[in-house]
């Protein structure tokens, strides 16, 4: 079994998490990404269990230099919150690839039971 989704461009960890004193929270960009992801997952109605492999293809919105690993946690958290899987601890294999620039940016996700 596998799940294939096209998501919007995910925020980096710098734009996903915020901190107020000792309290950590999800910033507006993170909340919006979670909401968009939940809507896409709901339209596909899919959930996968067991040990998982996650393949993320990031299509950046522009040629600005960026670390691709800074976008992974937002994708994992959004997929978990949307109900694709119970806990991102289930992910045993993770592959992240930078792809060509796409206007507006995009994130292709493939989630496979292993």
The pLDDT tens digits of the residues spanning 92-101 come to: 999 999 999 9
**Average pLDDT of the segment spanning 1-30:** 90
- How many other CB atoms are found less than 10 A from the CB of residue 64? 7
Closest by CA position to 51, among listed 26, 82, 86, 7: 86
The pLDDT tens digits of the residues spanning 22-33 come to: 998 888 999 999
Residues 89-114: b if buried by 16+ CB within 10 A, e if exposed: ebbeeeeeeeeeeeeebbbebebeee
pTM of the model: 0.92
The pLDDT tens digits of the residues spanning 41-61 come to: 999 868 999 999 999 999 999
């Amino acid at each position: 079994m596998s799940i294939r989704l096209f998501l919007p461009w995910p925020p980096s960890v710098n734009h996903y998490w915020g901190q107020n004193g000792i309290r950590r929270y999800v910033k507006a960009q993170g909340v919006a990404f979670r909401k968009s992801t939940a809507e896409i997952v709901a339209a596909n109605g899919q959930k996968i269990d067991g040990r998982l492999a996650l393949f993320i293809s990031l299509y950046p919105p522009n040629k600005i230099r960026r670390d691709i690993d800074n976008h992974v946690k937002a994708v994992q958290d959004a997929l978990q919150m949307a109900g694709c899987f119970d806990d991102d601890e289930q992910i045993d294999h993770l592959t992240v690839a930078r792809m060509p620039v796409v206007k507006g940016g995009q994130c292709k996700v493939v989630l496979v039971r292993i």
